[in-house]
Amino acid sequence: MTFRLRIAIFSLATACAALFGVAACGSHPVMPTTDAVKTPRSLPVLPLPALVERRDGAFTVAADTLILVPDGNADALGVGELLAGYVRQVRGLKLAVGTGQGSGATRSTIVLAIDPQAGGATDEGYQLDVSAQGVRVAARAPAGLYYGAVTLWQLLTPDSAQGVPVTVPAMHIVDGPRFAWRGVMLDVSRHYMPPEFVKQLIDWMALHKLNILHWHLTDDQGWRLEIRKYPRLTEIGAWRTPPEGGARTGGFYTQEQVRDIVRYASARYVTIVPEIDMPGHAQAAIAAYPWLGSHGDRPAVSVDWGVNPYLLNVDERTFGFVADVLAEVMELFPGRYIHVGGDEAIKDQWKASPRVQARMRQLGISTEDALQGYFMQRLETLLAAHGRKLVGWDEIVDAGLPADATVMSWRGAQGAIAAARAGHDVIMAPSNALYFDYLQGDGHDEPPGRPTLITLENVYDFQPLPAELDAAQARHVIGVQANVWTEHMITPQRVEHALFPRMAALAEVAWSPAAARDWQNFLSRLLPELGRYRALGIDYADSAFAMRIEASPGTMPGKATVTLSSQTGFGEIRYTLGGSEPAMDSPRYQAPLQLALPQQVTAAAFIDGRPITPARQLHIDAASLLLRNSDELQGCSAKLPLRLGGPLRDDGTQAVYRVDIMDPCWIYANAPLNGVSRIEVRLGRLPYNFQLGTDARNVVPRPPRTRHGELQIHRDSCDGPLLAQVPLQAHTAAQRPETLSAAIVPQAGIHSVCLFVGHGASGTLWVIDTVQLRSER
């Protein structure tokens, strides 16, 4: 019997040709989806292939199975070696790779073949056949053969049982990508990432069938690429001293390291698109060569996050510098696209510069926005002369699009819509859906980052084609990209946590047919993928499945109401009391629990008898019910909230503070003040290293009442009755957070409590770690 899944792929021939010269998107007719194929976890593959036909029989792959390249094609042999390595790393099976016709019926084989008739109309398409006699993966081009091998690798690793043969059901797969550009941007300017990690990321991208690494190499906080004609770019521009002092930090990539990384990526069918950000985000370059600037000073490499004011000037000498830099960039990166930034170029310095204004008059340009358009047109002409294509952030739409520019739309979809309607190719990378520096969970154990959530489901639900575009305009949407900005990611492990498992959702959005989307089915197929992550050593976030344990005062004194939940609601929840690990024979959570205090609750979600994530635990007593951490406090406003990392606590964990950097003020909502006689606030301070541009005028001032400032605690509102005031000293929380204790007059009832620090010290950001209400009882 044959079961069939056949789903349409949206054909984007124009978009695909832009990258590969031919239509890179296969097209298949729509057929009904059968229940047999949609059985949860029936196909442990991500992203979901375009067409799957189940057939009778199966094939077992064991240690003696041969990966065979009959004609000895060098590219196919390279794919075979990669496949063997992936299987060995996750499954522990050491498969040999050979050429010729193998040993016939005496040895089972996996055949890899370059076949001009296989894989449809795209170089990235492939055909995979499993029968009782063996496995055959075929594609018309090496890229497609690689992606077919990745699908086979997933079929061979439904679990990570080491050295154990695996039986794969017979099937026929025909597959190809929906979009030609399937990208991830890695920002290495804010925090340098070592070459070894960049290579790891390339490996992981390739295993998700993602094919573009957008490498953000320059910004205000660091220039990371060696340019031999301008050595000060890395001698000075690659390093900065932290605002709190200490040793300088940074790093850069030599040209030999870049060539090695580019070769490594090419072998895995990943193209690297470098970004040299211009004319804004250029402070590191101007720190190295002040004559590039518009302000006439010599700034340091920035230690501030945000929008810095430094712009390149528009002198011919500066355009000569740009031409020299891009010449070396193009020598290192052979891909067609070069990203030149163009974002967040605030024009204050251009407006204030007599030299820039004179240059505008000389060019007959009346506005600074038009001057940026001129700047971008010069860059496009330069790149086009070398057969390259300009990519820029969507601000280049506002400045006047160069004739053949590609737009990367990050401020929502409007830039993409305008560009596509004007006949320009676009890449969808909106901040509200695909910025992976936004956190994916709201647990207090999440790392620093932007607290606006972009969950796994948010990524999976993203629709790349704006509804405002007609079919012809939609063909200009050549792909999607997730962006990883690293202001708050100081280590590769933090980048991994931000990327995974959201990269899996991105991959399915970018590769699979739109009609194939099924959230619950995706979650089922994600479980074996998480096993592969563990085998590969990927430090992924478990936010989508982790237990959230919440406690509130119970209906009776001495009791608490405890609720258990997870972000996705996937699996069944089991819990224990007393500290032991939950198992399948532990009580199943079905409704809120009424528990006597004190209590220790441990919980996890289970699928097929196994926990999806490590269990979470919460100790609950009378004091903990009156404790709030900064994530549990509300902000007094929502201007620009961040979760910032602080020093290490005594237990070795890092303090993380949620704070609105434009209004550092907190609300303890619904505080039960009956009997409360004291409020303890664990207070910290961080350097205020943020550039807010024109938004600086919206910072809420909180002037001090005492010499060094004071912690103020108000009831009902921030202008309400003053419950307590604790004067600060010059050394308060200078090295690490301190607990300030304030006695209050006993209050009655439930109230909101507002807390903030009145101070006049510039360069200091006061933050709250916890607020504890203490009762007389």
The 10s digit of each residue's pLDDT in 293-308 is 999 999 999 999 999 9
Q: In this model, does residue 120 exceed pLDDT 80?
A: no
C-beta neighbour count of 257 within 10 angstroms: 15
Task: Please state the pTM of the whole predicted model.
Answer: 0.93
| 3 state SS of 584 | coil
What pLDDT score does 57 carry? 95
pLDDT tier at 4, thresholds 50, 70, 90 = very low
Model confidence pLDDT, tens digit, residues 277-294:
999 999 999 999 999 999
- What secondary structure letter does DSSP report for 197? H
Of the candidate ranges 396-405, 432-441, 655-664, the one whose mean pLDDT is the lowest: 396-405
Mean pLDDT across the chain, nearest whole number?
92
What pLDDT score does 584 carry? 96
pLDDT tier at 245, thresholds 50, 70, 90 = confident
Active-site residue list: 219, 281, 344
Query: What are the backbone dihedrals phi and psi of residue 409, each rounded to the nearest 5 degrees, phi first?
Result: -90, 110
Q: Would you say 52 and 4 are in contact if contact means Cβ atoms under 8 Å apart?
A: yes
What pLDDT score does 12 carry? 32
SS (H, E, C) 51-109: EEEEEEEEEEECCCCEEEECCCCHHHHHHHHHHHHHHHHHHCCCCEEEECCCCHHHCCE
| 3 state SS of 352 | helix
pLDDT tier at 30, thresholds 50, 70, 90 = very low
Q: In this model, does residue 60 exceed pLDDT 70?
A: yes
Amino acid, single-letter form, for residue 394: D
Q: In this model, does residue 33 exceed pLDDT 50?
A: no
Q: In this model, does residue 10 exceed pLDDT 90?
A: no
Of the candidate ranges 389-398, 449-458, 692-701, the one whose mean pLDDT is the lowest: 692-701
What pLDDT score does 5 carry? 42
What value does the mean pLDDT take over residues 170-195?
Answer: 97
What value does the mean pLDDT take over residues 258-262?
Answer: 98
What value does the mean pLDDT take over residues 234-238?
Answer: 98
Model confidence pLDDT, tens digit, residues 462-484:
999 999 999 999 999 999 999 99
Model confidence pLDDT, tens digit, residues 607-639:
999 999 999 999 999 999 999 999 999 999 999
Percent of the chain predicted with pLDDT > 70: 94
What pLDDT score does 106 carry? 55
- Between 749 and 2, the more confident residue is 749
pLDDT tier at 41, thresholds 50, 70, 90 = very low
- Between 486 and 735, the more confident residue is 486
Taking alpha carbons only, the member of 276, 421, 423, 283 closest to residue 337 is 276
Model confidence pLDDT, tens digit, residues 333-384:
999 999 999 999 999 999 999 999 999 999 999 999 999 999 999 999 999 9
Of the candidate ranges 1-10, 44-53, 57-66, 79-88, the one whose mean pLDDT is the lowest: 1-10
pLDDT tier at 761, thresholds 50, 70, 90 = confident
CA distance 97 to 87: 12
> Distances in Å between the alpha carbon of 306 and those of 111, 627, 640, 657?
52, 33, 11, 18
> Distances in Å between the alpha carbon of 251 and those of 230, 306, 634?
16, 21, 38
CA distance 110 to 152: 10
pLDDT tier at 102, thresholds 50, 70, 90 = low
Q: In this model, does residue 36 exceed pLDDT 50?
A: no
